[in-house]
Structure formats: structure tokens, C-alpha cells
Structure 1
Amino acid sequence: MPHQNTGAIKTVKKGDFLMQEGQKGDCAYIIETGRVEIMIRKNGAPEIIGTRGAGALLGEMAMIDDQPRTASVRALEDCTVLVISREDFIRRAENADPILRMVTKVILARYRDMLSRTESIAAPDSKKTDYSKQENDRDLHAIAVNTIKTFNELKSGLENGELLLHFQPIVDLDGYSIAGFEALARWQHPEKGMISPGVFIPVAEESGLIVDISRWALEESCKAAEIFKNITGAETAPFISVNFSVQDFLEAGFFSHVTRIIEKHKTPPENIHLEITESLLMEKPHIAKEALQQCQDYGIEISIDDFGTGYSSLSYLHAFPISTLKIDQSFIRSMLAQESSFQLVKSIIALAKNLDMRVIAEGIEHAEEAAALKNLDCEYCQGYWFAKPQPLEDAAALLQSWTPPEIQTGQKAGER
């Protein structure tokens, strides 16, 4: 049987077998439409032991155990099914995502069925229907199916050029020049339009696809860096911050992949910054420290994104080769209204300076915020008040015609 990837949609005609007893259990299936019958061989003859319909999960036991199938499944009507590959299930099991939870529920249900000596492999009927459990199962199934579909479409989207980078300027508060850009992934779906990173990034991280997306983003950022350098000149070329996840650092040869891409495009290492989250330092400190040190020695600077929202300690900041702290926008938005937020921002800036680190404040939406941060000696800011994330062509045009904002009047960047 040919290898099948998670998210693939398989069609089974009425009367055809979806799986047969004795076959290798290399995948499981979720029935989207149609019904099937399940049969085993008893005394040399096939015996039907149950039927299943839309929403049912099939073949998971053999997939998990990596053993031959113990039953055959035949379509009672034309069916469509979603594929879950064994390789993908094993990878997902580490993150306990909805697919794993769904499979676990089915395994437990079948175990209970075996104990109660029922003849059906479905959950036994009950005189009292538990509607809340049915609703939870339906919700869980919907989440699992949507996750698989999103993964499949995202994988195709990456291959077909649907992903693109938007660039948001990072402004030096000393002279209000553009010091750099943060590269942010966007997905322009051909049918659904622009899909939020809050939807597709978690799916990419759970499935491991984030590694391919990060490498793509670094490749595109190196191309953008060359365009920006041609506009400003090599001496004042802006840096580009590229986001990397925990999964990226766990990938074998992470540092060599990063340097290969940078050297392929002849990008000066100082023009690329790696942006990570606090969770990397906490979850995989030894792996992170070695990889980050290699990057720093190579000339790449490291930034911690959303600083203050996680749980990193001062010892980690001192021990890791971090060059920049990015203050989370939630603190910036409330700093002028809440004294506690203002003091926290002030403390983070002071902490960074004591550790010889730079600070970037995120989420600037008002001139008053930029002015307050400048007074606190914050070096850099980014946010909608300066400019929104925008496609490469627009970011290049912005860089070429950049007009420093006038904080005193509240005039936005580029407005005259």
C-alpha cells in the first residue's frame, strides 16, 4: 500500500475495502461522509461485527501498535475519509493536540466495550443518553478534522507560494530612523483570503511544518535584506528579525541550516536577527544555549519576543547570549493608564541596560506612548503608529521615502 500523508482525502466506492485484515497498519482514517461495515474472519468465514458512519475513527489500534490490521472495513455506500499517518500521529502525540485526544477517547471506549463483552466495537447503547458527552465528542471531532484540513492546505500553500512575508519597521527613537524590520508570515489562501497567523501558526507548530516555514521565512528575509541594503547602502542597512520556534531548535543541524541560507544569499550575519520566545529558554535550555551561542559567535543577534509574558528568570537572561529584549505590547498599551504597567516597562528597560541589552517596545499606537518610552531611554519601538506590517514592495517604498514622525504633534510617520 502506498504511503499516505495526513490530511489527504481518500474516496472509497460502495463495495470497496478501505482496509483489509492482515494489512500493515500505517495510518488511520476519519470518515467524513458515508457508512462502512467492519468484519473479522471467524472459523474461516467473514463475520460482520458492526457499522460506522461520519465522524468515526478507524484503524487507529493497528497504527498505534504498528501491527497488521485485525479487521476489514468495507464501504456500504460511497465514502470520503481523512487520512492520519502513523508518522504524523507520533509527532503530534508529544503535543497532546486534539487528534491525540480523539484517538485516546476511542481507545478507551473500545477497551470498555471489550470488558463489557459487547459484540459491537462501537460504544454500547445506553437507555439514558449523555447529550453533553455527545456534544463534546462532536466538538472534538470538528477540531481534529479542521486541524487536519488546515495542515494539509497549509502544506500545499507553502509549496504553491501562498505564504508571504509582511515587514513592520522597527524605529530608532534617537533619530527616528528605520533601524530594522520584523518579518511576519502571512497566508493568502486562494479561496478563504488572508488567514490569521493565530490560526495557522499553532497548526504548523503542532505538526512540525513550522520548521519548513521558518527556513522559508529566513530565505525570503535574506532576499529582502539585499533589497533594503540597495536602498540605504551597506553602512546603514536595516536588520531583519525572523521568528523561530522551539521546534526549529530541536531540528538536527539547526545552526548549519541557518548559516547555509545566509551564506547562499551572501547576507551579512549582522543584518539578520533571530527572534525567539521565553518558552525556548525554559523548555530546552541546554539545546537553546548551544545553538544561540553558535549564532552569536557567527554574528547573528538574538532577541526575546514578548518579554514579560513568560516565566524566564534573571539567571536565564544572564546565562544566554541575548542581545535584545522586546517588551510585550500588552504592557505598552496600559502603561499610560496603569502605574503598575508603567513601572514594569521602566524596570525592564533598566534591567536590559544593566545587562548590556537593547530594548524594543512593541505595539506603539499613539504618539504619547512613543514619547514616554523615549523619556525612559528605550532605544527602539515598533507599532501601528509608525507603520503596519506590509508587503515587501511597500516596505521598500516606505524605507526609501521615510519621513521621521513628529512626536510632539502626534503626526504619524510619513504624514506631511
Structure 2
Amino acid sequence: LWPTVGNRMERELNAIESLGFKTQAWKADNDAAQAVSMATLEINWLIAQRELPYLVQSLPTHLLYRSIMNHGVEDSLEVIEWVRGDALVRVLDYDLWMTPHSKEQSFGFGDYPSAERFIQWIKWWNEISPEFAAQRIVELDEGLIVGCMTAACEIIPVGLNRNQEELSDEYWITPDNRFGLKMKTSDDSDFDVFHQFVHSLYKQDVRLAQSVLAHSAMLVREESIEEARRWRDGRLEEQGFLSPDEARDLLKPKSNKQLVDMIRVAVSTEPKRYSTATSGESNDLATVPSELHERIFEYVQKIDSDELAQEIEQQLGTSELVRLVGTSAPHPEILLQDEDVMDLFVDKLAKRTHQILLNLEAQKVRALKQRLQQSDSSLLIDQTIAWLSENNLERAMDYKARIARCINTLATAMGVMNE
């Protein structure tokens, strides 16, 4: 295998230093060099990246989640600060859900949101600021908000069945005197955390706080959680994780006709999985996955306008601004409303983020290559991934993802996903 190795990978790996890879990006462990290992990122390396906010949106969610948990959430707050919007929803898919009467997390496929995990996340968010915690709740699905709020406390509208005076003996009353709340959790310290959280909601936006509590009090809990489960299952399926029932159904024996149809579809769609670039251009910065581009575009729409304008100026530079809008010091509103400016800005961010992701994989392949050279016995899958990476790193990454999906499906169907 190794006499055929060319110089392309070395050229690609040499670009790592120019992109800030001056420290080890992957966390060292016994399996870190294996091509299909469950490696984690070194959080301190991630924090040091200027592109941290965009990397958080772009990294595989399971990798981001495992890396944070491996390092410790309290020591990863500089990363948690940027886990917002869609990235936050996807991370919480892995962490919030539990199965009743089970002390183990289900890593996505539990039946109900956990009050304890929800309050723990509020504590972590509070380490950044109580306002930050209040801002995060509104980014969740409505069903998940209802599930989390009603898991943590009982919510009674004042005047529905009991007046404020009657409720105040057992419930604490919200600042607007519209709701009575009583904690359901057993930890006495949870009251202070949740009390501060609700007050932060009201301080941020009274109408928003009232809406959250009203929906949590009036909507049918089971229906809301069922809706949240459907959204969660869809997001997990996009990442290659199926529920046990779906996995078992997928692995049911197929008829010859079904198999032929499946193979025909797979063969016809295979060329569409990759860009039309030649093999020598396969890692060109222009071939950015559309999903990554969309994630970054959606994220920048939520950045404060003044901060976004400053970021645009830094990313594009004076010459590009003059070319696009005719001045080197445009008003922020002009930058944000100019489609050409926004398109170029997002494109630059997406390309650079994509290159960092490629170089992360290249760094891991370098470790794999060294391991294979030093070992007389190695797994065929490791040799195959190393060989594929020499010819087309992106295609090798796709093959690895597809292998992981197959393994996930088998493990889930057999009930060994968390072992």
C-alpha cells in the first residue's frame, strides 16, 4: 500500500500550520490514530481558533458534544457561549432526553426531557450570564420548551381554579402575578436556579416570558413532547442515528426486487454525492458543502448588527469593500443590506471553515499513516481509509460517515448503542 503514497497529503498537511494548527487539535487517547475511532477534539485548541463561532455551527454535532463532555462543560464555557440556535438544539438532542426509571442517558432516544439535565444546562448558561440563559430557551422547539418547563415545575395560571392568595401558600408567583410555579425536582437548590431563570425571562421580555409559561401551562404535555420527539428524531436521522425501531425495520430481510431497486437507486445517485471537480481539485476551497454554507448563513443572520458589520469589514478587507460598495468606511446598514457583500462574506467564512474541517481530518489521517507505518498488523479498514485519503480526502470522509451510519444502525438494532 505505502509505496503508492503520493505527496498530495503532505502538501495538504503542510497547510495546517498556516491555518493556525500550531497545537494538537485531536485529544490524544488510545484509539486516536484509528480512522474510524470515536476521537474528540482538544477544547483548548478549539477555543484558540478565530473561527470558533462558525466551527461550532459546522462541526458534526456528536463530535462537538463528546468533546465538550470529555473536557468538562465548566471548562468549556468559551465554547458553550457559541452553542446557539440550531447547534444548541442539536447538542441538546443528545443530552436532555431520558427514559423514565433509568439513570442512564439515552444519547438522543430517551422518552422525555429531563428536568435535572435542563436545570443543569441553566446552571452552565448562568455561568456566562442569567440573560444568556434566558436567551437560549427561546431557541428550542416549542414542544421541547413545554416538555422541559413542565418537567421542572408545575405551572398554574392565577385565577384558573384558584386565586393568587390561595396559590401563594404552595406556589411562588411570577413577577406579573399571572402564574404560580412549584418545583417538581428533589434538589432544594434547583428552586434558586429556576427562580432566577424565570425572572431573567421576564426581565428580557415580559410578553415572551408570559408566552412560554402560558404554552407550558395550557398545551397538552404529552402531545407537545411527542411533537418534540418527532423533530428530534428527524435531526438525529440526518446525522445517521436511527431509533431502535427504525434500525430494526431497516434491517428486515428484503426481497430480491427490493434489493435490486435499492442498488439501482444507489448506483444512479452515487455521482451526485460528490462535486464535479477533478481528483486533483477535490479539496479546492470552492467545493463547500451546501449544508455548511446554509448553517453559517443562518447563524450570521442572528448576530447583532453592529458586531456583524465589524466582522464583515474584518473578513472582506478594505479593497473588497471599496470594490463592492465604493467606500472603505460604509455605514453598517449599507453592509447588511447589500446582497453581494453578504454573499461574499458568508462564502469566505464557509470556505475557511470547510478548509479547517478538512485539515482536521488530514491531521487525523497523518496520525493514522504513522501508526500504519509502525505496525506490522493493521485493520483493513484503516489501510483503506488511508489509501482513499491520499486520492480524495473529502470522498474518504464521506465513506467514513457512511460506514459509521451502518455501524450505528447495527448497534442500535442490537441494543448496544450506549455500551
Structure with higher strand content? 1
Structure with larger RCO (C-alpha < 8 A, sep 6+): 2
More helix by share: 2
TM-score tier by shorter-chain length is under 0.3
Give 1 or 2 for the bigger CA radius of gyration.
1
Scaled by the length of structure 2, the TM-score of the pair is 0.25
After TM superposition, the score normalised by the length of structure 1 is 0.25
